[in-house]
A and B are shown apart, each in its own frame.
Chain A
Amino acid sequence: MKIGGGVGQLKTDMAVTGHPLEEPLAGLKLSPGVTKLPSGLVITSLENYSPASKIGVFVKAGCRYETSENQGVTHLLRLASNLTTKGASAFKICHGIEAVGGSLSVTSSRESMIYTVDCLRDDIDTVMEYLINVTTAPEFRPWEVSDLRPRVKTDKAQAAQNTQIAVVEALHGAAYKNTLCNSLYCPDYMVDNIQSEHLHQFVQNHFTSARMALVGLGVDHAVLKQVGEQFLNIRSGAGTTGAKALYRGGESRLASSSGLVHSAVVSQSAAVGSSEALAFSVLQQVLGAGPHVKRGSNSSGKLVQAVAKATADPFDVTAFNASYSDSGLFGFYTISQAAAVGDVVKSALAQVKAVADGEITASDITRAKLQLKGQFLMSLETSEGLLEALGTQALTQGSYISPEEISKSIDNVSLADVTNAAKKFMSGKKTMASSGNLIKTPFVDEI
């Protein structure tokens, strides 16, 4: 499988000297090829003539698919990516990948697990072999799995140190009754109870062709298709379908001695792919989603302006927006001093209410749309972002939608859509999660 032809072609194109750099090369259309195999596997690849290639296997096996018997199995699965497989031992995988200067990583979110390898163009064969081994033929030897337990504990300790992660996990835990309430980290009582059989069963049920997408950057599409047909068709079928996420709206309070209180207030929003989801994204930008100028004062966001009037102490506030395949969360996240939490949360809520009541102008919407488009398009600039975009689209829709089309759909969001989204947030049942010194923090029914 020699994949060097593309680079040679590029060289001859670039040999046409005198071409200005502001315009794309004529006749060089970089559009990804998408193939859907009969087994359900979706293969997407984009030949971007980069000297480094990236291949990702996207699997619908996030922590939302854990059941009560195997809570936390995805945490161990995430750490088990380097364990012995049928075709390669743990040492061979680590040594082989390091020998070509590549890297193998696993990212898991609530919806999916993403196995990524990147390496130089010529070493694709080697790392592909390891990737296929890890995703389709892991052995999960019991002693290797039990050696993962100290790493699970270290992982959890590191995550617990990060208050934002703790609050977002608690938020999801309080907001849903099932599926999406599962944490990305293994619960304490299950750390010693997850055995090799759980991992095997989870992989059997969820790592099936219909739930997988194979994505490549800098790879030949034919090559990827061959790999997909030969190796990733091992487990066919749709696997276990997950239950629908049931929103309940609750509260979670994590008291600690920290002087800064982190608090998140959300309500149910829309699923990924619906037009409402876009409206919520635009609303997030209207309200303010993080600073856009490094070391700037972040005074352009509506939420920041509102909260700045309520307190003089240091604070931070962002609109929070997370969309999943059948549900979503929208609200705001605040960090403030322990004494000022009530004022901060109430003023942020009042600002969202103002937006819901129609107190936004067309210029706000235009600015928000431009910011959203800019953020999205800039995320596609890196190979990691591009791979993720290709992969999640392949996994959820089985096709590819170009950035131009997405930009157009963003432009089609109207002021009414945004106002309705804000109204939905205000009227929905709220979920709240707080962490820190909670003496003065209001409860969800008091805000």
Chain B
Amino acid sequence: MMSLAARSGTFSPYMQATAFTVAGPLKALVPGVVVKEEKILLNPKKHFLCRESLNGQSPKTGHAVTVSINGSAGIRFAHTDIRMPDFSDYRRSEVLDANKSSQESSEARRAYSYLVTGASTMVGIYTAKTVVTQFVSSMSASADVLALSKIEIKLSDIPEGKNMTFKWRGKPLFVRHRTEKEIATEAAVNIGELRDPQHDKDRVINPSWVIVLGVCTHLGCVPIANAGDFGGYYCPCHGSHYDASGRIRKGPAPLNLEVPYYEFPDDDTVVVG
């Protein structure tokens, strides 16, 4: 009449059924390879040392065994079968000894780590900046385009009184070797009479050379050199007369001929642009 309920007393934990969660069938990772069975390590905790600890350890009746899914799991003495791996290959020499305090070396270790990190960060930042600027500046004008923007002219090829035309940035460039008479004439012109008042010395660096863009400021035709009433240029399209300095004297053009940026690296060459 006594049911199985009478079997496990409240004070005999050793007589409770062994129960563990059903985890699932074990599968070998590679088919065909024999999985060597490991020795089953169990915790041989022996703490029967005194009368009190032996109290209630004797079973009162036969036992039963329980297995369950999601039921209460058995006690697992994990700290005996899990081994801490050995990290000594990766440790610094100051902390290899497990029994020595790590406090003494902590400042030195910390300083070293921070220094290395800081230096690497700075190097990294500069590297990043370099890489980014290289990529971004690749989108700017290429060297062949930049090369076309300047022109170098040998001045000894141009005799006095002669005007030479060069193609520069898609436009005609006039380089005139002025005579002394022309220089004096231009310097003596009254600026008040000019439509676009500019003194000759403001338009040239070296008075014997005048370099202007050969584009008429009226509607963009190319003036003819050594023509016109003022000894300079004459635009045939609408009759604009420029003088030997490239200033407008007569005709419909509103402004003087444009003077580009140029410099004389030596006496014989000029670089325009």
Contact = CB atoms under 8 A, between A and B. Distances in A.
Interface of A: 78-79, 81-82, 90, 93-94, 97-98, 101-110, 144, 147-148, 150, 153-155, 157-159, 161-162, 164-165, 168, 172, 184-185, 258, 260, 262, 272-273, 277-278, 281, 284, 289-292, 294-298, 314-323, 329, 333-335, 375-376, 378-380, 385-386, 388-389, 391-393, 401, 406, 409
A161 B42 CA distance: 8
A278 B60 contact: no
Interface string B46-62: 10111111111111111
Contacts of B69: 81-82, 93-94, 97-98, 103-105
B67 interface: yes
B5 A380 contact: yes
A106 B50 contact: no
Contacts of A409: 1
Which 6 A-B residue pairings sit nearest by Cβ, starting from the closest? A105-B68, A318-B58, A109-B64, A147-B25, A322-B62, A379-B5
Contact of B22 (A81, A291, A298, A320): A81
Interface in B192-218: none
B67 A164 contact: no
Contacts of A154: 40
Given A90-B24, A107-B64, A406-B1, A379 B6 contact: yes
Contact of A321 (B5, B49, B61): B61
11 contacts: A81-B69, A94-B22, A103-B68, A157-B42, A164-B63, A172-B62, A272-B1, A278-B1, A297-B51, A317-B58, A318-B60
Contacts of B62: 109-110, 168, 172, 322, 329
Nearest to B62: A322
Contacts of A144: 25
B84 interface: no
B70 interface: yes
Interface stretch (B10-18, B171-179, B236-244, B262-270): B10-18
| B: interface residue count bin | 35 or more
Given A290-B58, A318-B59, A393-B3, A107 B40 contact: no
Contact of B54 (A158, A292, A314): A314
Which of B5, B50, B60 has most A Cβ within 10 Å?
Answer: B5
Contacts, number: 185
Given A318-B58, A335-B57, A104 B3 contact: no
A78 B56 contact: no
Contacts of A314: 48-51, 53-54
A153 B35 CA distance: 15
A184 B64 CA distance: 8
Q: Which of B25, B40, B57 has the most chain A CB atoms inside 10 A of its CB?
A: B25
Interface in B31-50: 37, 40, 42, 44, 46, 48-50
A161 B68 CA distance: 21
B6 to A, nearest CB: 6
B2 interface: yes
Contacts of B111: none
Contacts of A379: 5-6
Most buried by A among B52, B57, B62, B70: B62
A150 B68 contact: no
B26 interface: yes
Contact of B9 (A101, A168, A290): A290
Contact of B5 (A289, A294, A376): A376
B54 A316 contact: yes
A185 B7 CA distance: 18
Interface in B214-265: none
Contacts of A101: 70
A401 B71 contact: no
Contacts of B10: 378
Nearest to A146: B25
